[in-house]
C-alpha cells in the first residue's frame, strides 16, 4: 500500500479548563519527530486550535491523528464525527491515555486506528500501510531511549509551542519529560507499576538547548515522578543549572525523604522553584487503603525538607478514597493546616478505568467501602476551580463529599483554586497570588 503523504496530528482541546493554553503538550511532538526521522518525505502538520464548523481544515490530509486524555473523549468524538461526516474515506487514528485505559469503549467507535500505548513506531507502520486497526507497541527502556527527542526546532513546532503561556516566577517556561513510568503500585492510579524509562542525558541536554532556543528560561519537568532517584536526577539537575533553566518538578514523599534532606538540597541548589507531591490524604488509614506505601510522617517531612532549601511546595490531595469518613477528612484538614505547603489542589477521587480500584468495581467486588455512582467528565481540575463527585462511601454521600471539598477550598483558599474563591474575598490585587 502507498505511504500516506499528508498527516495532521492534533492535541485534543480541553474545553473544561479555564485556560487550556498553559502547559505545551509533548506527545504529538514526539510523534512528529519519529515520523520525520523514518519517513522524511511525509508532511506532518500539528494543531490544537480548530473550528469544526469548517471541516475543510481536514481536506488536505490522508490521516488525522488525535491524542486524547479521558476528559477529552467527547471532544475527540466531535472531531471524529466531523471528519467522517464530510470525508468518510479519510483515516482517523486515536492515541493517548484514553485509548489505552478505555480501549474497549474506543474500539466501538469509528476510529480507523487505535494506538493504546507507545505511538512512534505504530504511527510509522500505519503511514507505510502496514498497520492493523489496533497497533500495540510497548517499548522497553532501551527502545524508548533511542527514540528522537520531540520536535521543538521546526517552524511548525515553534509556532505551536509559542502559542502557550506558562511562567515559573517571572520567566517563560516550557515542558520537558525526562522519564516515563512509575514504580508505585497505588490502587487509584492508572500508571501504577509501569516501567520507568529514562531519556539519555545527552538527549536531555539537547532538549534543554531547544528550550533555550525558543526563548525559555524555565521548564516544567512533566514526569509523574522526577524526584524519584537522586543518582539519576543529579546530573540532569546540574545540566539545568549550567543553562540557568529554573524548573518545577513532581515528587513522591517516600522516595524524596529516603535521602534525608539531601535530595531537597540538590534540587534547591540547581534551580528548582517548586515541587508538587502526590500526598493524596492526611490519613494514614487512607494511605494504607490505597497501597500508597507512604507514611504520613514522610508526607510532612517532604514539605519540611523542600521548604528548608527554598523550594515552594504544592500538594495534590483527594477526598472520597476508599474508607473515607469525616474523621479521615479531618486528618486531611489538619495536614492542610499544619504541613506548611504553599499551595494545594483538592479533588474528589474519580475511579478511572485502568486502575485496580476500577477493575475491582467493574468485576463486582467490594472495594473497601466505595461505591461508584456514574461516569462523569473525569477531570480533577475544572472551570472556576470546581471538581465533580461520582463516588460515595458508607459514611459520606457524593453530595457530602462535594460540599465538604468546596468548604475546604473556600476556607483555605489555595492558589490552585483561585478562580473559585478570589471574587468572594476583599483582596485588592490578584497579582498577590500569581
User: Residues 27-48, buried b or exposed e (16+ Cβ, 10 A)?
Assistant: bbbbbbbbbbebbeebbbbbeb
In this predicted structure, the answer to whether residue 370 has a pLDDT above a threshold of 80 is yes
Average pLDDT in the 389-413 region? 96
Among candidate residues 194, 198, 195, the one with its CA nearest the CA of residue 176: 198
CA distance 432 to 434: 6
Among candidate residues 114, 125, 122, the one with its CA nearest the CA of residue 139: 122
User: Residues 300-335, buried b or exposed e (16+ Cβ, 10 A)?
Assistant: bbbbebbbebebbbbbbbbbbbbbbbeebbebbbeb
In this predicted structure, the answer to whether residue 422 has a pLDDT above a threshold of 90 is no
User: By percentage, how much of the chain surpasses pLDDT 90?
Assistant: 89
Domain boundaries defined on the chain:
6-144, 166-433
In this predicted structure, the answer to whether residue 427 has a pLDDT above a threshold of 70 is no
pLDDT for the residue 368: 72
329-354 per-position pLDDT tens digit: 999 999 999 999 999 999 999 999 99
The answer to whether 225 and 256 have CB atoms below 8 angstroms apart is no
pLDDT for the residue 366: 74
Give the Cβ contact number of residue 61 at 10 Å. 22
pLDDT band at 159 (very low <50, low <70, confident <90, very high): very high
In this predicted structure, the answer to whether residue 68 has a pLDDT above a threshold of 50 is yes
The answer to whether 230 and 256 have CB atoms below 8 angstroms apart is no
Contacts 24+ apart (CB under 8 A), 150-155: 150/26, 150/29, 150/30, 150/32, 150/33, 150/207, 151/29, 151/32, 151/33, 151/36, 152/29, 152/207, 152/210, 152/211, 152/213, 152/214, 153/210, 153/213, 154/32
Regarding beta strands 167-168 and 91-95, do their DSSP bridges make them parallel or antiparallel, or are they unpaired? unpaired
In this predicted structure, the answer to whether residue 432 has a pLDDT above a threshold of 50 is no
The DSSP call for residue 200 is: P
Among candidate residues 204, 197, 154, 196, the one with its CA nearest the CA of residue 175: 204
Out of 91-95, 382-386, 392-396, which region has the weakest mean confidence (pLDDT)?
A: 382-386
81-113 per-position pLDDT tens digit: 999 999 999 999 999 999 999 999 999 999 999
pLDDT for the residue 424: 55
Alpha-carbon 261 to chain mean position: 27
Average per-residue pLDDT for the chain: 94
pLDDT band at 417 (very low <50, low <70, confident <90, very high): very high
In terms of CATH, what superfamily is 6-144? Cobalamin-binding domain (3.40.50.280)
Task: Out of 3.40.309.10, 3.80.30.20, 3.40.50.720, 3.40.50.1100, select the CATH number for domain 166-433.
Answer: 3.80.30.20
pLDDT band at 423 (very low <50, low <70, confident <90, very high): low
pLDDT band at 365 (very low <50, low <70, confident <90, very high): confident
pTM, whole model, 2 decimals?
0.93
Give the Cβ contact number of residue 23 at 10 Å. 14
Q: Could you check whether 6-144 and 166-433 share the same CATH topology?
A: no
275-330 per-position pLDDT tens digit: 999 999 999 999 999 999 999 999 999 999 999 999 999 999 999 999 999 999 99
In this predicted structure, the answer to whether residue 79 has a pLDDT above a threshold of 80 is yes
CA distance 1 to 5: 12
In this predicted structure, the answer to whether residue 3 has a pLDDT above a threshold of 80 is no
Regarding beta strands 312-319 and 113-115, do their DSSP bridges make them parallel or antiparallel, or are they unpaired? unpaired
In this predicted structure, the answer to whether residue 57 has a pLDDT above a threshold of 80 is yes
Among candidate residues 286, 279, 338, the one with its CA nearest the CA of residue 314: 279
In this predicted structure, the answer to whether residue 426 has a pLDDT above a threshold of 50 is no
pLDDT band at 1 (very low <50, low <70, confident <90, very high): low
Amino acid at each position: 500500500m502507498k505511504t500516506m503523504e499528508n498527516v495532521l496530528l492534533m492535541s485534543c482541546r480541553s474545553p473544561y479548563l479555564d485556560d487550556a493554553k498553559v502547559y505545551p503538550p509533548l506527545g504529538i511532538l514526539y510523534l512528529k519527530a519519529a515520523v520525520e526521522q523514518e519517513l522524511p518525505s511525509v508532511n506532518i502538520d500539528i494543531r490544537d486550535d480548530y473550528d469544526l464548523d469548517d471541516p475543510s481544515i481536514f481536506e488536505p490530509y490522508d490521516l488525522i491523528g488525535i491524542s486524547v486524555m479521558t476528559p477529552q473523549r467527547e471532544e475527540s468524538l466531535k472531531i471524529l464525527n466531523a471528519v467522517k461526516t464530510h470525508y468518510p474515506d479519510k483515516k482517523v487514528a486515536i492515541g493517548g491515555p484514553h485509548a489505552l485505559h478505555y480501549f474497549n469503549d474506543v474500539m466501538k467507535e469509528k476510529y480507523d486506528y487505535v494506538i493504546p500505548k507507545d505511538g512512534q513506531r505504530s504511527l510509522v507502520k500505519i503511514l507505510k500501510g502496514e498497520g492493523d486497526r489496533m497497533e500495540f507497541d510497548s517499548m522497553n527502556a532501551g527502545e524508548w531511549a533511542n527514540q528522537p527527542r520531540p520536535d521543538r526546532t521546526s517552524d511548525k513546532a515553534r509556532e505551536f509551542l509559542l502559542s502557550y503561556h506558562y511562567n515559573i516566577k517571572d520567566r517563560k517556561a516550557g515542558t520537558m519529560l525526562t522519564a516515563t513510568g512509575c514504580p508505585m503500585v497505588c490502587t487509584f492510579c492508572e500508571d501504577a507499576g509501569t516501567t520507568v524509562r529514562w531519556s539519555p542525558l545527552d538527549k536531555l541536554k539537547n532538549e534543554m538547548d531547544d528550550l533555550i532556543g525558543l526563548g525559555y528560561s524555565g521548564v516544567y519537568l512533566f514526569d509523574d515522578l522526577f524526584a524519584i532517584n537522586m543518582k539519576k536526577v543529579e546530573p540532569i539537575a546540574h545540566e539545568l543549572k549550567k543553562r540557568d533553566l529554573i524548573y518545577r518538578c513532581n515528587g513522591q514523599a517516600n522516595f524524596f525523604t529516603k535521602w534525608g534532606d539531601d535530595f531537597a538540597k540538590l534540587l534547591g541548589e540547581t534551580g528548582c522553584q517548586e515541587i508538587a507531591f502526590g500526598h493524596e490524604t492526611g490519613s494514614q488509614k487512607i494511605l494504607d487503603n490505597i497501597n500508597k506505601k507512604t507514611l504520613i510522617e514522610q508526607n510532612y517531612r517532604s514539605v519540611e525538607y523542600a521548604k528548608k532549601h527554598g523550594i515552594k511546595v504544592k500538594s495534590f490531595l483527594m477526598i472520597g478514597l476508599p474508607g473515607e469518613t469525616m474523621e479521615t477528612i479531618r486528618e486531611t484538614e489538619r495536614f492542610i493546616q499544619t504541613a506548611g505547603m504553599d499551595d494545594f489542589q483538592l479533588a474528589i477521587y474519580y475511579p478511572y478505568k485502568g486502575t485496580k480500584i476500577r477493575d475491582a468495581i467493574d468485576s463486582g467486588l467490594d472495594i473497601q467501602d466505595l461505591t461508584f455512582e456514574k461516569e462523569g467528565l473525569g477531570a480533577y481540575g475544572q472551570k472556576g476551580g470546581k471538581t465533580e463527585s461520582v463516588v460515595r462511601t458508607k459514611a459520606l454521600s457524593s453530595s457530602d463529599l462535594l460540599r465538604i471539598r468546596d468548604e475546604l477550598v473556600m476556607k483555605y483558599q489555595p492558589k490552585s483554586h483561585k478562580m473559585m474563591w478570589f471574587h468572594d474575598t476583599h483582596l485588592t490585587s490578584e497579582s498577590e497570588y500569581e
